[in-house]
């Protein structure tokens, strides 16, 4: 009896194992069929063309993937700089009393920028003017002395001539003539001394006048003025600071005359000679315009093998020195495939477009390149001529 029960128990376990294996296999098959889309409506397997209902594309326009010929550019980054930039420095050593301007302020030629302490220079001018007054007084005295000497000389000359005549008429002695001659010669010597004194006094006056002029010039240096019209770019000093020759105080730039300075590789230098046509882009303002090369610095940077190229910029109040800019140097004509930017759908890092195939639409992954206005370059995924769908715009854009 026990042997029969044991045999039955073994058969039951074997049956359960077979049933479990069969159930597991059935579940796997059902799962595979489900993943293959057998039990799901409106699903297509991999490689099939997705053809949504026609009404889902009513809002879309169509356009053609065009093959266009464009100019390929070499791009050099640069910085907007003023055409001229002036550093204002002091010509004397003095303390700064007032700063009359601030960054961004427009100034005209001759407008005061700084005022320096002038007390010492005013005292120097006062001493120089006193010296000039003394020199002028000495010159006046010399003129008076010359006048007196000439008067004495005239009298001595007349007496000498008279005694000579008297001597000829034997009305005077030889001793009288000698006395008159001595007086005459002495008077003439005093006239020459007076003339020399006047020359010395004139020299003293000239020297004093130069000292006064130098003192006035130095005093004028206490008012530092703009040398040209421009805009205050930087203010490097505050009241109370010591201004000395060689120390920058203020930087003035030409606000309305700007240019882009870019670094161009040595391999493209021959394409950016002065007068060559280029294109300039200011990304912050979404500006792009044609320009010409104004200057090519003939000395390159040996560490980067680049040369500085300068191009003029149009007058635009929105452009400021220090802005980032790009210099686009034309290289050659190339053929590219372009589509409207609105036709490209981005999901994560993947770009796709809807391409019409027969009566349906297929989603194609593409690799995009440069943006050219309202169109974008397609590097791979399209061969040109395809009809694609996009939102907005006109048909056949």
CA 81 to mean position of chain CA atoms: 2
Q: What is the dihedral of CA 289, 294, 297, 298, to 10 degrees?
A: 120
Structure tokens at 327: 């210099």
Please check whether residue 328 is in contact with residue 280, taking contact to mean a CB–CB distance below 8 angstroms. yes
Between the alpha carbon of residue 77 and those of residues 309, 310, 313, 326, the distances in Å are 11, 12, 15, 5
What is residue 241's DSSP assignment? P
Query: Three-state SS for 169?
Result: coil
Neighbour tally for 113: CB within 10 Å: 22
Among candidates 103, 182, 188, which has minimal Cα distance to 150? 188
The pLDDT score that the predictor gives to residue 374 is 85
Does the pLDDT value for residue 280 go beyond 90? yes
pLDDT at 13 > cutoff 70? no
Residue 225: pLDDT band by 50, 70, 90 thresholds? very high
Q: Which of 59-73, 126-140, 215-229, 333-347 has the lowest mean pLDDT?
A: 59-73
**pTM attached to this predicted model:** 0.54
**What is the spatial distance between Cα 280 and Cα 319, in angstroms, rounded to a whole number?**
13
- Give me the mean pLDDT over the 18-32 stretch: 60
Look up residue 309 and give its DSSP letter. Answer: E
Residue 5: CB partners within 8 Å, gap ≥ 6?
Answer: none
pLDDT, residue 46, reads 36
Angle between helices 119-168 and 174-220 (to 10 degrees): 160
Domains, the chain, in order of start with CATH, read: 61-81+257-390 (2.40.30.170), 84-117+222-253 (2.40.50.100), 119-220 (1.10.287.620)
Residues 153-191: pLDDT tens digits? 888 888 888 888 887 888 778 888 888 888 888 888 988
Q: Sheet with 106-107: list strands edge to edge.
A: 85-89, 248-253, 230-235, 106-107
CA–CA separation, 91 and 111 (whole Å): 17
Residue-level pLDDT at 324: 96
- Tell me the per-residue pLDDT of 236-266, one tens digit each, with 9 for 90 and over: 999 999 999 999 999 998 766 889 999 999 9
- pLDDT digits 0-9 by tens, 102-120: 998 989 999 999 999 999 9
In this prediction, residue 96 has a pLDDT band, given cuts at 50, 70 and 90, of: very high
pLDDT band (50, 70, 90) for residue 297: very high
Q: Is the pLDDT confidence value at 306 over 90? A: yes
pLDDT of residue 311: 94
């Amino acid at each position: 009896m026990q042997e029969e029960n044991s045999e039955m128990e073994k058969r039951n376990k074997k049956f359960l194992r077979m049933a479990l294996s069969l159930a597991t296999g059935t579940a796997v098959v059902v799962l595979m069929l489900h993943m293959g889309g057998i039990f799901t409506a409106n699903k297509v397997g991999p490689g099939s063309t997705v053809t949504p209902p026609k009404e889902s594309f009513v809002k879309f326009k169509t356009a053609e993937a065009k093959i266009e010929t464009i100019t390929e550019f070499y791009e050099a980054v640069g910085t907007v700089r003023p055409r001229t930039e002036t550093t204002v420095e002091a010509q004397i050593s003095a303390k700064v009393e007032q700063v009359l301007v601030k960054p961004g302020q427009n100034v005209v030629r001759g407008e005061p920028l700084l005022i320096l302490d002038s007390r010492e220079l005013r005292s120097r001018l006062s001493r120089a003017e006193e010296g000039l007054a003394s020199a002028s007084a000495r010159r006046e005295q010399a003129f008076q002395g010359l006048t007196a000497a000439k008067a004495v000389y005239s009298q001595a000359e007349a007496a000498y001539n008279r005694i000579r005549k008297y001597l000829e008429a034997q009305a005077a002695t030889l001793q009288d003539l000698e006395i008159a001659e001595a007086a005459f010669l002495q008077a003439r010597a005093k006239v020459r001394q007076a003339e020399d004194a006047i020359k010395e006094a004139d020299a003293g006056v000239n020297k004093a006048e130069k000292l006064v002029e130098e003192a006035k010039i130095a005093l004028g240096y206490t008012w530092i003025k703009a040398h040209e019209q421009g805009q205050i770019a930087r203010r490097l000093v505050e009241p109370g600071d010591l201004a000395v020759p060689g120390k920058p105080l203020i930087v003035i730039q030409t606000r309305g005359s700007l240019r882009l300075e870019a670094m161009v590789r040595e391999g493209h230098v021959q394409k950016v000679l002065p007068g060559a046509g280029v294109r300039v882009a200011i990304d912050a303002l979404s500006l792009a315009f044609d320009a010409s090369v104004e200057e090519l610095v003939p000395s390159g940077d040996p560490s980067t093998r680049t040369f500085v190229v300068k191009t003029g910029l149009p007058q635009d109040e929105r452009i400021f020195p220090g802005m980032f800019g790009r210099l686009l140097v034309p290289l050659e004509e190339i053929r590219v495939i372009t589509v409207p930017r609105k036709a490209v759908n981005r999901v994560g890092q993947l770009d796709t477009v809807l391409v019409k195939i027969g009566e349906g639409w297929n989603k194609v992954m593409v690799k995009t390149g440069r943006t050219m206005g309202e169109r974008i370059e397609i590097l791979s995924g399209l061969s040109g001529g395809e009809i694609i769908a996009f939102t907005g715009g006109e048909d056949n854009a």
